[in-house]
C-alpha cells in the first residue's frame, strides 16, 4: 500500500517569510496530491491539490510542486500570515485504481508575529 | 459547511461499552472514509466504503466495524471500548475514489472514561 512521509513535523517561521513542507510517496500509480489545512479543533479542509499531469500549481500565496520521478511533492506558502498557523497534511491515493486516500503525519506550522 | 454531517459531536462513555458513530456524506458522494485522530496525532485511516461496499481497510481494530447503507450513510461501531480509543473520529466523503477531493465532517469527539 501507499506510504506517505511528511517533513518537517513542526515548523516555525517569521511572519512574512516563506514556509515549505515536503512529502514523499511510494505508489508510483498515484496521480492526485492534495494538501489539507486543519485549524485547532476543526476539520481538515482542502487548500490546494495537483494532478500528475502538471508540475506546479499556484493559488495566490500557496503553491504545490510535484516531482513524479522522485515521487515527492511540496507545499509552498509565501508571505506567511498569523492565520496560516495550523496543521498541514499532505495525502496521496493508493490501492488499486487510486482508491484509498493516505495522509502524511502532518506539519504543525507556527507563524511568529 | 462541507456538506458532510457527523453525529454525535461529542460522546462520553465508559470502558467496555459500545458506541455507534454516524456519518451522512455529501449529496451524490459515493465514497465514505473513516479516520481516527488521537490528541496531536495525524489522521489514521480506518476504512473506506464505496457505494455500499468495503473498498479499503487500514489498521482498524477487530473491535471496530463499519458499514455503508443503501442511502449511502455510514456507521462506525466501536465496541469493548478502552481508554486509548479516546480520539476525534472523522468521516469524509468524495464523489469517487481517492483521486478526488475528500470533504470532511466536523468529527465526533469520543472520550472513554
Q: How far is B71 from chain A (nearest CA, A)?
A: 21
Contacts with B, A 11-30, CB within 8 Å: 30
The DSSP-derived string for chain B is: --S-EEE-SEEEE-TT--EEEEEEPPTT--EEEEEEE-TT---EEEEEEETTEEEEE-S--TTEEEEE-TTS-EEEEE-S--GGG-EEEEEEEESSSTTS--EE---EEEEE-
Mean pLDDT of A70-74: 95
Mean pLDDT of A42-63: 93
Cβ B55–A89 below 8 Å, yes or no?
A: no
Out of A7-21, A23-37, B88-102, pick the least confident.
B88-102
Compute how many other C-beta atoms are within 10 angstroms of the C-beta atom of residue B10: 9
**Which residues have a Cβ under 8 Å from the Cβ of A96 and sit 6 or more positions away?**
none
Banded pLDDT at B100 (limits 50, 70, 90): confident
pLDDT, residue B79, reads 97
For the cut 80, the answer to whether the pLDDT of residue A76 exceeds it is yes
Q: Which three cell numbers stand for residue A110?
A: 507556527
Banded pLDDT at A17 (limits 50, 70, 90): very high
pLDDT, residue A1, reads 66
Name chain B contacts of A94, Cβ cutoff 8 Å.
Answer: 98
For the cut 80, the answer to whether the pLDDT of residue A98 exceeds it is no
Residue owning grid cell 466523503 = B93
Specify whether the CB–CB gap between B47 and B35 falls below 8 A: no
pLDDT, residue B55, reads 87
Rounded-to-integer distance, Cα A59 and Cα A47, Å: 9
Name chain B contacts of A40, Cβ cutoff 8 Å.
Answer: none
For the cut 60, the answer to whether the pLDDT of residue B4 exceeds it is yes
For the stretch A18-41, pLDDT in tens is 999 999 998 888 888 999 999 988
Cβ B97–A102 below 8 Å, yes or no?
A: no
Cβ A100–B50 below 8 Å, yes or no?
A: no
pLDDT, residue B9, reads 97
For the cut 80, the answer to whether the pLDDT of residue B96 exceeds it is no
Specify whether the CB–CB gap between B67 and B75 falls below 8 A: yes
For the stretch B17-71, pLDDT in tens is 999 999 999 999 999 999 999 987 788 989 999 999 998 888 899 999 999 999 9
Amino acid at each position: 500500500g501507499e506510504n506517505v512521509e511528511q517533513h518537517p513535523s513542526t515548523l516555525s517561521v517569521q511572519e512574512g517569510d516563506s514556509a515549505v513542507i515536503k512529502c514523499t510517496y511510494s505508489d508510483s500509480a498515484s496521480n492526485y496530491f492534495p494538501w489539507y489545512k486543519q485549524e485547532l479543533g476543526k476539520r481538515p479542509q482542502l487548500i490546494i491539490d495537483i494532478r500528475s499531469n502538471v508540475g506546479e500549481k499556484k493559488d495566490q500565496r500557496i503553491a504545490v510542486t510535484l516531482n513524479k520521478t522522485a515521487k515527492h511533492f511540496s507545499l509552498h506558502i509565501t508571505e506567511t500570515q498569523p492565520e496560516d498557523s495550523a496543521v498541514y497534511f499532505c495525502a496521496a491515493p493508493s490501492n488499486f485504481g487510486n482508491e484509498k486516500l493516505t495522509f502524511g503525519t502532518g506539519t504543525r506550522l507556527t507563524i511568529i508575529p | 459547511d462541507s456538506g458532510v454531517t457527523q453525529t454525535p459531536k461529542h460522546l462520553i462513555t465508559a470502558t467496555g461499552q459500545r458506541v455507534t458513530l454516524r456519518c451522512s456524506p455529501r449529496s451524490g458522494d459515493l465514497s465514505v472514509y473513516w479516520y481516527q485522530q488521537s490528541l496531536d496525532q495525524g489522521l489514521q485511516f480506518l476504512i473506506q466504503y464505496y457505494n455500499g461496499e468495503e473498498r479499503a481497510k487500514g489498521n482498524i481494530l477487530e473491535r471496530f466495524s463499519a458499514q455503508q447503507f443503501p442511502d449511502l450513510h455510514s456507521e462506525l461501531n466501536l465496541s469493548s471500548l478502552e481508554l486509548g480509543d479516546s480520539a476525534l473520529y472523522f468521516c469524509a466523503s468524495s464523489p469517487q475514489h481517492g483521486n478526488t477531493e475528500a470533504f470532511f465532517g466536523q468529527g465526533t469527539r469520543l472520550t472513554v472514561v
